[in-house]
Structure 1
């Protein structure tokens, strides 16, 4: 099916309104030749004359009069669509679709979004919580938060802050199994593995001075949720490495203790990830700026 020549219909509407090729061209900020070619193109496609031309006057033919209202409606609808698009881009209203890791989303992101929605009553938040790596474009998300080392990709990733992690165990586990003093000791200890990362079976350690060690811990539990490890940790089942936003409360109340404190795991950061385009509606931009500012603190 051949699409209508919308440009020609819009120019026909302008000429019909102004009764002048020159005035129509001036109103549309195009050349008179452009308008003339568009009208000729439309007349040839319709196989009918739209205007009667003389050296002094330009008048609509009978066909032109019948079609002028249709052309005017096409023009009005096109302008209305562009206006709606501009409002969609600039108005702080509508849906913002976000993704975040499950535990971090519950503990840190959700409270901030409550604050943001209170500031902007016309904005609707669609929050997708998952520890899986979501395809941002395919899922239709405006942005997602990721806690990871970011690989190269076409997506735009803004690092907001470092995420500190700790190797932890319960006091009961340490009393029963002993305190590891070097990463190589973990081959004799039960460990809980977070699987939603590349190579979860290998733990990499570093410490001041540049020393690095890679070990394969003895596995007692595997899960794709850091929060799911907490009951086993508290029960003294094993050792694991978790970010502080999951274990801060347990460290504070003593149900877990930090071990191997001279050593750090692979560095990770909190990233705000968006599609490649820099163009975003104002509501999305406002939400991302709010989250970036608060989370970076």
Structure 2
């Protein structure tokens, strides 16, 4: 039996994207072409790889087996071709990250990566929502904080400090706290993508630890909006250091309790556990790890 490997690639795209329309967009093909390639593959194998209805497309048991067994082999072939061609990366690569992180760091890094690999078509989706990677056909997500979705694989890219901040106008109303306990019950901007957006534990360099709980003056699901609310003196907020840096330097925000620290947070590269990790994704992850690694002292 001779199988066209291009059909396997199309089949994998449908599995990963969760449907023919999304796979067609990802591959840059017409939906009819994708359907034809999958139908021919099914005819050659003599099995149904998908069940189709007007509402959804589901992978059959045979389809799951084919995907699991063939993707490492197909990926290895793609790796071999990339090595023979001098490491040239081609195709489309879709990445998602939060708006603030994209603006502050990731956008510039992806521009450098694109210059190194002109054969790639990069697409950055800046969104503070946790998008469904499979449904949206996204190859890689960059997410901060604790990861709660066990269906995803992740690797840590870097760490960043979390800073408690407030606008000068707010401090005029509530006073500048000298101890963490003074923040208990004060108005806070709660970032709802966090597990406990109002509960924070401060650590002092002398070993003391103090837990506080704020009062939600406003709840938002975007770190960028939380920063805007903090600037407007709606409440105190906890922001990543890379987001707060310019506002602290410009006096729009003030760091609270500078002798106390909040736990470090991490930035992770995330992808679906069921998906074979293509060479282009692995190369991007390694590029980001190198660029985001702290400079030697």
Tell me if both proteins adopt one fold, taking TM over 0.5 as the criterion. Answer: yes
Question: How many Å apart are 1:134 and its aligned residue?
Answer: 3.2
Question: How many Å apart are 1:103 and its aligned residue?
Answer: 0.9
SS in 2 for 1:153: coil
- The residue number in structure 1 matching 2:219 is 222
- The residue number in structure 2 matching 1:202 is 199
Is 1:272–1:292's contact at 8 Å kept on the other side of the alignment?
no
TM-score normalised to the size of structure 1? 0.64
SS in 2 for 1:229: helix
Query: Any idea what the Cα deviations from partners look like across 1:163-214, whole Å, max 9, x if unmatched?
Result: 1111111223223321112222123532211111112232333333443333
Kindly report which structure 2 residues correspond to 1:36-75, keeping only aligned pairs within 5 A, or say none: none
- The residue number in structure 1 matching 2:267 is 270
Q: CA RMSD in A?
A: 2.8
Closer, same or farther in 2 for the Cα pair 1:188/1:151, shift >3 Å? closer
Query: Any idea what the Cα deviations from partners look like across 1:259-297, whole Å, max 9, x if unmatched?
Result: 112322343111122344795333222222222211224
SS in 1 for 2:248: helix
Kindly report which structure 2 residues correspond to 1:143-292, keeping only aligned pairs within 5 A, or say none: 143-151=140-148, 153=150, 155-276=152-273, 279-292=276-289
Is 2:128–2:223's contact at 8 Å kept on the other side of the alignment?
no
SS in 2 for 1:99: strand
Is 1:89–1:280's contact at 8 Å kept on the other side of the alignment?
no
Cα separation, 1, equivalents of 2:138 and 2:147:
18
Query: Any idea what the Cα deviations from partners look like across 1:2-47, whole Å, max 9, x if unmatched?
Result: xxxx27xxxxxxxxxxxxxxxxxxxxxxxxxxxxxxxxxxxxxxxx
Unaligned runs of 5+ in 1: 1-5, 8-81
Is 2:201–2:211's contact at 8 Å kept on the other side of the alignment?
yes
Query: Any idea what the Cα deviations from partners look like across 1:72-106, whole Å, max 9, x if unmatched?
Result: xxxxxxxxxx79x6389624111112121221012
Tell me how many residue pairs correspond in the alignment. 218
Closer, same or farther in 2 for the Cα pair 1:263/1:89, shift >3 Å? farther
- The residue number in structure 2 matching 1:86 is 78
TM-score normalised to the size of structure 2? 0.64
Rg larger in 1 or in 2?
1
Is 1:204–1:213's contact at 8 Å kept on the other side of the alignment?
yes
- The residue number in structure 1 matching 2:123 is 126
